[in-house]
Amino acid sequence: MKINKNEQPKSENKRGRLDIIIDILEFAKKGTSKTAIVSGANLNFQLTEKYLALLLKNGFMDNRQEKYVTTDKGKMFLEKAKEITLQLK
């Protein structure tokens, strides 16, 4: 496959599951609404629901009065995940 200098393979343009989780946890550090997560993480509501359920179940986020907040456990995970993704680039 020939790639022009300015072109990246399509697979590099798509975010993986970990990238999406990082985006959500980062975006919700100070607390935010589900709608703001949809917009900020560039997801649809259906995908956002799935990711929020996963993050809530694992204790990485809390849902407080219509706001989603990254927990201390989520912040620790976020820092480790960022380190790993930086090493892989």
Binning the chain into helix, strand and coil, the percentages to the nearest 5 are: 60, 10, 30
How do residues 4-59 score in pLDDT, each as one tens digit?
444 444 445 678 999 999 999 999 999 999 999 999 999 999 999 999 999 999 99
- Does 65 have pLDDT greater than 50? yes
Residue 41: the pLDDT is 92
Please tell me the distance from the alpha carbon of residue 80 to that of residue 88, in angstroms, as a whole number.
13
- Does 70 have pLDDT greater than 70? yes
pTM: 0.81
Q: Are 72 and 58 in contact (CB under 8 A)?
A: no
Domain 16-88 class in CATH: mainly alpha
Residue 7: the pLDDT is 45
Residue 12: the pLDDT is 55
For residue 42, count CB atoms less than 10 angstroms from its CB and return exposed for 0-12, middle for 13-18, buried for 19 or more.
exposed
- Where along the chain do its domains lie? 16-88
